[in-house]
Amino acid sequence: MTSASVSYYAARFHLTNPPFETEDGPVAAGTLGLSVSRNVADGIHEDIDVTNHSPSSVRFNLEIALRSDFADLFEVKTRRFVRRGRITTEWNEVGGQLKTSYANRDFNRHLVYRLARTTSRAAYANGRISFDVALKPGEQSHSCCEYVLVGGARAR
């Protein structure tokens, strides 16, 4: 629907759904609102809100695909990417945390995607974090997520 720069360090996106099928039946277009608010400071903080604007309850999976490439600045500028090192991913279900690590010789970096608070149960499979969302009419689901960037002993 819309997006905006709230300030130089923040952005907000407002979206709505196309029609889609669920186990419980179809969900009509435009009945769900998705708002994503993102702040960048010493890391990235993201709030994901889904609101049910329909007159009936809905139940569905909201999936977030997360990928990390750890490309260096020169590769990004030239758009010539060479795969080096090794990337691994670990999901900690109890802590609600996805850790992607990159190692190339003595160079190590990590990206940690942490679910700080969420009203929906989350799981990780096939490169996606999946939230089980169940909303009554007018109800809202909220997830508070953090991207933690780790380089050596420094975490942002």
Per-block average pLDDT, block size 10, for the chain (156 residues)?
73 95 95 95 91 96 87 82 86 92 88 91 92 96 92 74
Nearest to 131 by CA among 63, 58, 69: 63
In sign, the C-alpha dihedral spanning 139, 144, 7, 12 is negative
Give the pLDDT confidence score for residue 4 in this predicted structure: 60
- Give the number of other Cβ atoms within 10 Å of residue 32's Cβ: 23
Sequence-distant (≥ 6) Cβ neighbours of residue 96 within 8 angstroms: 114, 115, 118, 122
What would the CATH number be for the domain defined by 2-155? Answer: 2.70.98.40
Q: What is the pTM of this model?
A: 0.84
Is the distance from CB of 55 to CB of 137 less than 8 angstroms?
yes
Sequence-distant (≥ 6) Cβ neighbours of residue 83 within 8 angstroms: none
Sequence-distant (≥ 6) Cβ neighbours of residue 25 within 8 angstroms: none
Give the whole-angstrom CA distance, residue 108 versus residue 86. 10
Biggest CA pair distance of the chain:
57
Give the pLDDT confidence score for residue 49 in this predicted structure: 97
Burial 77-104 (b: 16+ CB within 10 A, else e): eeeeeeeeeebeeeeeeeebbbbbbbee
Give the pLDDT confidence score for residue 2 in this predicted structure: 60
Give the pLDDT confidence score for residue 3 in this predicted structure: 61
